Amino acid sequence: MTAAKKTAKKKTSNKKSVRLVTLAFDIGGSGLKASALDKNGEMVTERVRVDTPKPCPPALLLEKLKELTARLPPFDRVSVGFPGPVRKGRTLSSANLGSDEWNGFDLRRAIAKQTGKPTIVINDADMQGLGAIKGEGVEMVITLGTGVGSALFEDGRLAPHIELAHIPFRKGQTYEEQLGARALKKVGKQEWNKRVAKAVEVFRALTHFDKLYIGGGNAENVSLDLGPDIEIVSNTMGMRGGIWLWKDTNLNDGVQK
């Protein structure tokens, strides 16, 4: 368990603690999801969701975010998981949102301006990983949904993001082409699971992970004989990880609180 998580647990018993609500926004290729989290990362409301428009340029995403926040209680800050590489709140690209307008878009500034609240934006797999990891050794997170996400941690520290989804995997195709939602629909669960098993062994050789967490909307279709070092995690981790962004000084550096 990370030091931040241990500290949060200690504070749980403090009845006089100040109420602090975080809006967690999980941007997916098929769905846009949001929820309100308490200071310990627990959802204080049911998750709200709308389908992701096709395509979904920044202006339309911000409009949908406004619709979702209208269905949630007041909040103090915003955590965003984005399906693509992010540098200091600026998105570099997003293959699954279908718009070149994401190349170099300052999403953190746009959401902070729209909501009037401090905002942190990171890759969605990184955010899900922050909710899933224990903070011990080398931990890897893979998300299987519309596309494929990945995150890597050592002793609770987030490593620089690497887009594994778009590098070659097998038969001249990328991980996303072989393991994304389209591939699952095309080849069926049995063949898809064989590919997942192959990918896991590649990731094991690449990172020598101590623990691998598999999440995302299609994790429920994984039927592998999982060993003790592999765990399927709930897709809600994609939002619950939003609380830990504010406990990592490397992630919230420069964000006005």
| CATH class entry, domain 3-126 | alpha beta
- Bridge partners of 193, per DSSP, are none
Edge to edge, the sheet with strand 230-232 lists 157-158, 148-154, 138-144, 211-215, 230-232
Listed by start position, the domains of the chain span: 3-126, 135-237
CA gap 13, 21 in Å, rounded = 17
pLDDT of residue 13: 42
The mean pLDDT value of the chain amounts to: 89
Structurally, at CATH architecture level, domain 135-237 sits in 2-Layer Sandwich (3.30)
Confidence check: pLDDT of 122 > 50: yes
Confidence check: pLDDT of 4 > 80: no
- Reported as a single tens digit per residue, the pLDDT across 214-243 is 999 999 999 988 889 999 998 788 788 898
pLDDT of residue 245: 84
pLDDT of residue 256: 54
- Bridge partners of 196, per DSSP, are none
pLDDT of residue 2: 56
One fold for 3-126 and 135-237: yes
| Lowest pLDDT segment from 158-162, 186-190, 234-238 | 234-238
- Reported as a single tens digit per residue, the pLDDT across 49-86 is 999 999 999 999 999 999 999 999 999 999 999 999 99
What integer is the mean pLDDT of 15-39?
86
Task: State the helix-helix crossing angle for 107-115 and 58-69, rounded to 10 degrees.
Answer: 40
State both tokens at 85: 């590489």
